[in-house]
Amino acid sequence: MAFEKASLVCGSLLLVQVTGCSWMRAVSQFFSPAEAELIRPAPAQNDLPNIQTVALAPISGKQEDTQVIGGTLGEKLTQSQRFRVVEREQLAVLSKENGCADSEYTCLSKTLPASAVVLGSISDSAYRENVTSDHYECGDSKQKKTCTTNTRKGSAKVTANLRLVEIATGRVLTQHVGSKTLSAQTTSDETPAAIDSANLLDQARAQVAQEFFELISPHEAFEKVRIQVDSDLPILDRGNEQLKRHEYANAVATYRTAVKQAEDSKEIDKKVKGKAHYNLAMALVGTQEFDEAIKELARANELHSDEDWQVMTERLTSWKADALAAKKQLAFATPNEPPTPTASNSSSAEPAKP
């Protein structure tokens, strides 16, 4: 069977000879460590044990800004199940019923006990774009010519001042000035393709809302982690693909099989066995089994001392504490529905937006 050769330069010249096409896989693993994204629970940055209901007041600013930011906040808060949520339309009807003046919500303290209202304004929302041209010499040695690359660059910036105010006292519980700038570009030797400016602005608006949401509510955090691969234990590849697709229960089952295969084999060395335990620990984070994840990682470090794995132990311990804090915050929630408008007034009100 013929041999394939690859020359790699990394400080010094390295000549690798391996059978078939497996050298490409080995090179890829050497230079590009495999990664996966884990989803884990995280607590609100601001603990609000005395607040059970959050009302969404109109945010001042352009309609396209307020709709996305207010809508994103309402959706995220409802999904979190941390608070009872009173949408804008509902709040307007309750205010009218209780004779509240515009933007004065302290009169709702009896109707909405243990509650706070989200207020805010959009101070900046803009999209800017420019096209630049780069001229360079191209063609072969016999016929040189000037070529041009045109690049369209777009930038969307959104800034909002959002605050959570206790209804009974008017006290500001949380205030945040969030600003997001997102960029995109297209390139062509002719006219660069258009950039979807509306979509870019919507993404920036949603990220501003997400930042404020994470201040006041338990939420999901996304963590990039390295995962292990090894040609001596190919079943890890299947588990890795499941982990990348967030199929955590399936990944746990696959990695458990990998651990058994590794531990039962006399040919597989301790480092590879450690890799199987390490990957199992990462999948157990996804299923929120933090105690077992920490044990599996400890076993991995026993088998093979790795500085990155030791650092990961500290991260898992921190993530376990976050999960417990988020669970405690969710315990503040109450299953009761927020007050609804009376029948006489609700017929003229628009239905609350989801």
pLDDT in tens, 153-194: 999 999 999 999 999 999 999 999 999 999 999 999 999 999
Q: Which tokens is 353 given? A: 């937006």
Do the first three CATH levels of 42-222 and 228-329 match, i.e. the same topology? Answer: no
In this structure, the number of other CB atoms found within 10 A of the CB of residue 60 comes to: 15
Q: Which fold has domain 228-329?
A: 1.25.40
Q: Looking at domain 42-222, which of 3.40.50, 2.60.40, 3.40.1350, 3.20.170 is its CATH number?
A: 3.40.50
Rounded to two decimals, what is the model's pTM?
Answer: 0.81
Neighbours of 173 (CB within 10 A): 16
Q: How far apart are CA 191 and CA 133, in angstroms?
A: 10
Rounded to whole angstroms, the Cα distance separating 36 from 240 reads 8
Instruction: State pLDDT tens for residues 231-270.
Output: 999 999 999 999 999 999 999 999 999 999 999 999 999 9
Type of residue found at 348: S
Q: Tens of pLDDT along 285-311?
A: 999 999 999 999 999 999 999 999 999
CB-CB contact of 35 with 226 (8 Å): yes
Q: Where in the chain are the domains?
A: 42-222, 228-329
Strands 84-86 and 53-56: parallel
Q: How far apart are CA 97 and CA 110, in angstroms?
A: 13
